[in-house]
Amino acid sequence: MPSKRNVEMLSRIDGMIKTYGSNIVMIDFTGLDSQKTRELRSEIRKIGAAYSVFKNTIMSIYFRDKHNKDYSNLFLGVNGFVFANDGVFINALKYLVKAEKDLGLKVKASIFENRVFDLKETLELSKLPSKSEVIAQVLGALNSAISSFVGVVNNVTQNFVLVLKSLEDKK
Condensed to tens digits (0 to 9), the pLDDT of residues 3-41 reads 889 889 889 998 998 988 889 999 998 888 889 999 999
Give the whole-angstrom CA distance, residue 16 versus residue 59.
Answer: 12
Q: The domain that contains 114 carries what CATH number?
A: 3.30.70.1730
pLDDT for the residue 131: 66
Residue 52 region by backbone torsions, left for phi larger than 0, else alpha for psi between -120 and 50, else beta: beta
pLDDT for the residue 27: 93
* Shared-domain flag, residues 104 and 145: no
* Shared-domain flag, residues 120 and 137: no
* Shared-domain flag, residues 171 and 105: no
Q: Look at residue 103 and give its three-state secondary structure.
A: helix
* Shared-domain flag, residues 137 and 99: no
* Shared-domain flag, residues 94 and 14: yes
* Shared-domain flag, residues 156 and 85: no
* Shared-domain flag, residues 121 and 169: no
- Domain total of the chain: 2
Q: Look at residue 75 and give its three-state secondary structure.
A: coil
Report pTM: 0.74
* Shared-domain flag, residues 158 and 111: no
* Shared-domain flag, residues 110 and 164: no
* Shared-domain flag, residues 106 and 56: yes
pLDDT for the residue 1: 60
Torsion of CA 150, 153, 159, 163, to 10 degrees: -150
* Shared-domain flag, residues 167 and 122: no
Alpha-carbon Rg of the chain, whole angstroms?
Answer: 26
Residue 25 lies in domain: 4-128
CB 23 within 8 A of CB 50: no
DSSP per-residue codes, 122-162: HHHHTTSPPHHHHHHHHHHHHHHHHHHHHHHHHHHHHHHHH
Phi, psi of 28 (to 5 degrees): -95, 115
* Shared-domain flag, residues 101 and 137: no
Give the whole-angstrom CA distance, residue 129 versus residue 133.
Answer: 6
